[in-house]
Amino acid sequence: MSQKYTKEFKETIVSLYETGKSVTDLSREYGLANQIIYKWIKVYSKKQLDTEEVSLHDLQEIRKEMAKIREENEILKKALGIFAKK
């Protein structure tokens, strides 16, 4: 059975890695598989974009929100078209 970890815990592990702890040390200390730590590093490491740091997880959340907003925008355009005909 897989264990669920909070976003904060995952970000803490990545932060420890970024400050110099090795994946092997983190794996031993927290009882985690190396592969899961590498996955979290990929997802939660901060990337420099212009003047802001954004993790892959944050970018995925932004993309989901953009898709939702685009869908809502299309619905509003259709409603406007219907009301404009009346």
The sign of the torsion formed by the CA atoms of 16, 1, 35, 39 equals: negative
**Domain 7-85 CATH assignment equals 3.30.2420:** no
φ/ψ bin of 46: left (φ > 0), alpha (ψ from -120 to 50), beta (otherwise): beta
Delimit the domains of the chain by residue range.
7-85
The predicted-structure confidence for 19-65, as pLDDT tens digits, reads as follows: 999 999 999 999 999 999 999 998 888 765 566 777 888 888 999 99
Rounded to two decimals, the pTM is 0.57
pLDDT (0 to 100) of residue 50: 61
**What is the C-alpha end-to-end distance of the chain, expressed in Å?**
58
- Residue 8 CA to residue 63 CA, distance in Å, equals 21
**Residue 85 Cα distances to 73, 75, 77, angstroms:** 19, 16, 13
Residue 70 CB coordination number (10 Å): 10
